[in-house]
Every structure is written in C-alpha cells, then in structure tokens.
C-alpha cells in the first residue's frame, strides 16, 4: 500500500506542469481569462449575462471558462470595435452548431455579412457628413431647405425663418 506522501509525489509532476504550462490548463478562472483577453472581469460578467460566453461553476461557486472562450471574447471585442451591436454578435454566436467557438471559416462568413452592414452604415454616414457640410456652409439657419433639420421642407408651410427657433414649427 502506498503512503499519502508517495501518492502526492506521483501527482506533483502533473500539477507542476499545469502551473508552469498555461496550455496544460483546460479551464481558466475569470481573472485569468480577463488578463489573457485584455478585458475587465466586469466585462466578462456582462458578456455572460448577455449570453455571449458561458462558464461553469465550481463547488465553491467560482466561474471556470473553457480555454476556447478566449477566441469568443476576441471575436466579441473585434465586432464591437467596428460597431456591431451585441444582439447581432449574440445571434451570430448562437447560430454556430452546438454553440461552438468560431472557426476561421465561421469568421470569414460573419465578417462578410457584417462587412455589408458596415458598408451601408458608412454610406449613410458619408451622406450625413456631406449634408452636414452643406448646412454649415449655408449658415442661414432658416431651416427652409435644410435636409437635416427639415427633410422634404416640411417646415416651409409654417413660414420663413428659423421656425423651430421661433417656436412655430407646426405647419
């Protein structure tokens, strides 16, 4: 029969390897994941509440994340950075088979779909910028022909001048 000391010595190499080789760990604590992903612990809790990532709880009620959660967090951060709403990100991740972590092929499909949405948003912002530049150049404040403050010239029926500023914006 082995002593507890002998059993401890046999288990020690595996435990030491896990401590020195981060790749040997199958799960990460919330602090480890936050440090590796470059986000705050509260951001991870938020992502979890929103259904973007998942954890399991230990017997002590501590969160443990699978290592592949790092890739999910990276995808979330990149998508957020370019302005993709969290609901769209969640829907995209939920659409993956078995809730798996996105692969390169998944990313290519998601980024192509999001690229079209971003291109449309960029076109809209460019149009807004161009209209805004024209408005600044005009400087009339009449709002009579302003495509930003008075689309389709709805305020013209209320009379000349800055109708909203004069308090009679109702045509």
Statement to judge: residues 76 and 153 lie in one domain? no
Q: What is the mean pLDDT of residues 14-30?
A: 63
| CA angle (125 as vertex; 122, 130 as ends), nearest 5 | 125
The pLDDT tens digits for 75-98 are: 999 999 999 999 999 999 988 888
pLDDT at 88: 93
The pLDDT tens digits for 98-151 are: 878 888 898 898 889 899 989 999 998 888 887 766 655 555 555 555 666 656
Statement to judge: residues 12 and 75 lie in one domain? yes
pLDDT at 154: 64
pLDDT at 85: 92
Number of structural domains (the chain) is 2
- Residue 161 gets the label, from left (phi > 0), alpha (psi -120 to 50) or beta, of left
The pLDDT tens digits for 30-72 are: 999 999 999 999 999 999 999 999 999 999 999 999 999 999 9
Statement to judge: residues 130 and 161 lie in one domain? no
d(CA 90, CA 81): 15
pLDDT at 15: 43
d(CA 69, CA 76): 10
d(CA 38, CA 166): 51
Q: Give 76 or 17, the one with higher predicted confidence.
A: 76
Statement to judge: residues 111 and 146 lie in one domain? no
Statement to judge: residues 92 and 41 lie in one domain? yes
Which domain covers residue 101, as residue numbers? Answer: 4-134
Statement to judge: residues 144 and 126 lie in one domain? no
Q: Give 59 or 11, the one with higher predicted confidence.
A: 59
CATH of the domain at 48: 1.10.1660.10
pLDDT at 7: 43
pLDDT at 127: 84
pLDDT at 95: 87
Half-sphere exposure of 49 (CA within 13 A, CB side): 6
Q: How many helices (H) and strands (E) does the chain have?
A: 7, 3
Nearby residues of 122 by Cβ (< 8 Å), 6 or more positions away: none
- CB of 41 closer than 8 Å to CB of 55: no
């Amino acid at each position: 029969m082995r002593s507890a000391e002998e059993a401890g010595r046999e288990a020690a190499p595996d435990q030491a390897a896990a401590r020195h080789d981060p790749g040997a760990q199958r799960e990460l604590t919330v602090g480890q994941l936050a440090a590796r992903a470059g986000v705050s612990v509260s951001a991870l809790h938020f992502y979890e509440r929103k259904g973007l990532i998942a954890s399991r709880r230990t017997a002590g009620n501590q969160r443990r994340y699978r290592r592949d959660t790092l890739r999910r967090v990276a995808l979330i951060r990149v998508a957020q950075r370019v302005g993709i709403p969290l609901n769209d990100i969640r829907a995209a991740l939920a659409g993956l088979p078995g809730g798996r972590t996105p692969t390169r092929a998944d990313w290519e499909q998601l980024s192509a779909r999001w690229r079209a949405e971003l291109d449309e948003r960029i076109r809209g912002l460019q149009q807004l910028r161009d209209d805004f530049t024209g408005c600044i150049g005009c400087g009339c404040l009449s709002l009579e022909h302003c495509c930003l403050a008075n689309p389709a010239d709805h305020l013209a029926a209320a009379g000349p001048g800055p109708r909203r500023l004069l308090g009679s914006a109702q045509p």
